[in-house]
Chains A and B, each alone.
Chain A
Amino acid sequence: MEFYLPIAELPVNVGLILAMSAAVGFISGMFGVGGGFLMTPLLIFVGIPPAVAVATVSPQITAASTTGALAYWRRRALDVRLGLVLLGGGIVGTLLGVLFFNAMRRVGQLELVITISYVTLLGAIGSLMFVESVRSILRRRRGRVVPPRRLPRPWYFGLPLRLRFPQSRLYMSVIPLVTLSVAIGFVGAVLGIGGGFMVVPALIYLFRIPTAVVVGTSLFQILFTMIAATILHAVTNHSVDIVLAVLLIVGSVFGAQFGARAARNIKGEQFRLLLALIVLAVAVRFIFEIGVTPADPFSVVISEIRS
Chain B
Amino acid sequence: MRARLAVAAVALAPTVASAESLTVSLSHHRVQITSTYTGAELVVFGLIGRDAAGAARAGGYDIVITARGPRAATVVREKQPLGPIWINRAQVKFFDLPVTKAVLATKPLEDIAEPELRRRYRIGLDTATIPKVDASAATGREIEFRAALLRLKTSSGLYTQNERGVVFIADNVFRGNVPVPATAPLGNYEVEVALFQGGVRLAQETTNFEVTKAGFEQLVARESREQSWLYGALTAAVALMFGWIATVIFRRD
Query: What sequence of 0s and 1s flags, for each residue 8-46 of chain B, a beta carbon within 8 Å of any chain A beta carbon?
Result: 000000000000000000000000011111110000000
Query: What sequence of 0s and 1s flags, for each residue 187-204 of chain B, a beta carbon within 8 Å of any chain A beta carbon?
Result: 110000000000000000
Chain A proximity of B142: nearest CB distance (Å) = 13
Chain B proximity of A188: nearest CB distance (Å) = 15
Chain A proximity of B230: nearest CB distance (Å) = 9
Q: A62-B243, A231-B233 are in contact. Are A301 and B77 (CB under 8 A)?
A: yes
> Which residues of A from 236 to 288 have beta carbons under 8 Å from B?
238, 240, 242-243, 245-246, 249-250, 253-254, 256-257
> Which residues of B from 22 to 81 have beta carbons under 8 Å from A?
33-39, 70-81
Q: A3-B36, A7-B224, A71-B247 are in contact. Are A245 and B87 (CB under 8 A)?
A: no
A171 within 8 A of B: no
Whether B37 and A59, one on each chain, are in contact in the complex, defined by CB atoms closer than 8 angstroms, is no
Residues on B with C-beta less than 8 A from A70 are: 243-244, 247
Residues on B with C-beta less than 8 A from A305 are: 70-72, 99, 185-187
B217 within 8 A of A: yes
Residues on B with C-beta less than 8 A from A246 are: 238, 242
Task: State how many residues of chain A have any CB contact under 8 Å with chain B.
Answer: 58
Chain B proximity of A131: nearest CB distance (Å) = 23
Residues on A with C-beta less than 8 A from B232 are: 230-235, 240
Residues on A with C-beta less than 8 A from B35 are: 3-4
Residues on A with C-beta less than 8 A from B182 are: 10-11
Q: A6-B221, A112-B87, A231-B233 are in contact. Are A250 and B242 (CB under 8 A)?
A: yes
Nearest opposing residue in chain B for A73, CB measure:
B247
Query: What sequence of 0s and 1s flags, for each residue 221-253 of chain B, a beta carbon within 8 Å of any chain A beta carbon?
Result: 100110011011111101110111111001000
Whether A307 and B70, one on each chain, are in contact in the complex, defined by CB atoms closer than 8 angstroms, is yes
Interface footprint category on B: 35 or more
Whether A297 and B236, one on each chain, are in contact in the complex, defined by CB atoms closer than 8 angstroms, is no
Chain A proximity of B234: nearest CB distance (Å) = 7
A2-B238 Cα distance, complex, nearest whole Å:
22
19 contacts across the A-B interface (CB closer than 8 A): A2-B36, A4-B33, A4-B38, A6-B217, A62-B243, A64-B243, A65-B243, A66-B240, A67-B246, A230-B236, A231-B233, A234-B231, A234-B235, A240-B235, A243-B220, A298-B145, A300-B74, A302-B185, A304-B72
Query: 14 extra interchain contacts, Cβ-Cβ under 8 A, other than A11-B38, A116-B85, A253-B243?
Result: A4-B36, A6-B218, A7-B220, A10-B183, A230-B235, A231-B229, A233-B232, A238-B224, A240-B231, A298-B78, A300-B152, A301-B74, A306-B70, A307-B185
**Residues of chain A at the chain B interface (Cβ within 8 Å):** 2-4, 6-7, 9-11, 59-60, 62-67, 70-71, 108-109, 112, 116, 227, 230-235, 238, 240, 242-243, 245-246, 249-250, 253-254, 256-257, 290-294, 296-307
